[in-house]
Amino acid sequence: MTPERMAALVARWVRLYTRQLPPPVARRRIGEIDADLHDHIAHERAGGTDDRRITLSIAARMIRGLAADAAWRRQTIAQTSTPEDVMTMSKAASRSVARVALATAAILLVPLVATLTTDGEGWSVADFVFGAVLLGGTGLLLELAVRKPRSLAYRAAAGAIGVAAIALGEADDAPGLVLFGCLLILGTIALSVRTALRSE
């Protein structure tokens, strides 16, 4: 690898860790490192250092500074976030949790009423706990997927849970679980379509 390629790699890393920071802060760090890399290569070449050693020296400087880069990013975010930003994020998170809790309670009301009003075999406490964890966990996953629609990970996880629910429901002869899985997969597809349309 040439020193220029290594410098380009470092420059890419700098652009990555300065993402979403206030533009003046990000521009300053990017500009400083770009100048440093240029000066480093020019100085070493003028001194007759071979390219391999220059490349290694640039890579070593980047690696030694990784922890400081991450710490600097964290501190910059903490210093530049206004109390309003923190309050908005906190309110949005509270609303998400409230929505998921309400939906979970509403869905679990159906088997609860059935258990209380019919003489047949109803749900045990363990069944309700399992159902609450399954519904609540999936709800939070969908909230994350909606909030970060470009992140494929959450949508993939929601889809995988849907497939698993259908498979388990089929094996255990549980039509409710199959329906849950189908709804989850349909929701994931709808979210993916919406994200694709918005990014066009």
Partner 1 sequence: MPRRKPDTLLPLEAEILGAALSLRRSGQAAFHGFGLARAMREQSGSRALTGHGTLYKALGRLERFGLLASRWEESAAAEGRPRRRLYELTGQGAEVARQAAADAPGRAAGRPPRVASEPA
How near is the Cβ of 182 to partner 1 at its closest, in Å?
A: 49
35 binding partner 1? (CB under 8 A):
yes
Tokens of 4: 């220029």
Q: How many angstroms separate the CA atoms of 173 and 164, rounded?
A: 14
116 binding partner 1? (CB under 8 A):
no
Q: What CA–CA distances, in Å, run from 162 to 47, 80, 127, 180, 184?
A: 62, 40, 19, 7, 5
Place of tokens 């640039």: 58
List 9, 69, 103, 107, residue binding partner 1 (CB under 8 A): 69
129 binding partner 1? (CB under 8 A):
no
Interface with partner 1: number of residues (CB under 8 A): 29
List 1, 8, 16, 42, residue binding partner 1 (CB under 8 A): 42
List 64, 116, 126, 150, residue binding partner 1 (CB under 8 A): 64
How near is the Cβ of 77 to partner 1 at its closest, in Å?
A: 14
> In degrees rounded to 5, what are phi and psi of residue 174?
-120, 95
List 28, 91, 95, 147, residue binding partner 1 (CB under 8 A): 28
Choose one: 25-33, 109-117, 138-146, 167-175; the region binding partner 1 (CB under 8 A). Answer: 25-33
Q: Where does residue 121 fall: left (phi above 0), alpha (psi -120 to 50 degrees), or beta otherwise? A: beta
Cβ contact 133:123 at 8 Å: no
Sign for the CA dihedral angle at 55, 60, 33, 11 comes to positive
71 binding partner 1? (CB under 8 A):
yes
3-state secondary structure (DSSP) of residue 2: coil
How near is the Cβ of 16 to partner 1 at its closest, in Å?
A: 13
How near is the Cβ of 11 to partner 1 at its closest, in Å?
A: 10
Within 10 angstroms of residue 23's Cβ, the number of other Cβ atoms is: 9
Interacting residues toward partner 1 by CB under 8 A: 10, 14, 28-29, 31-36, 38-40, 42-43, 57, 60-72
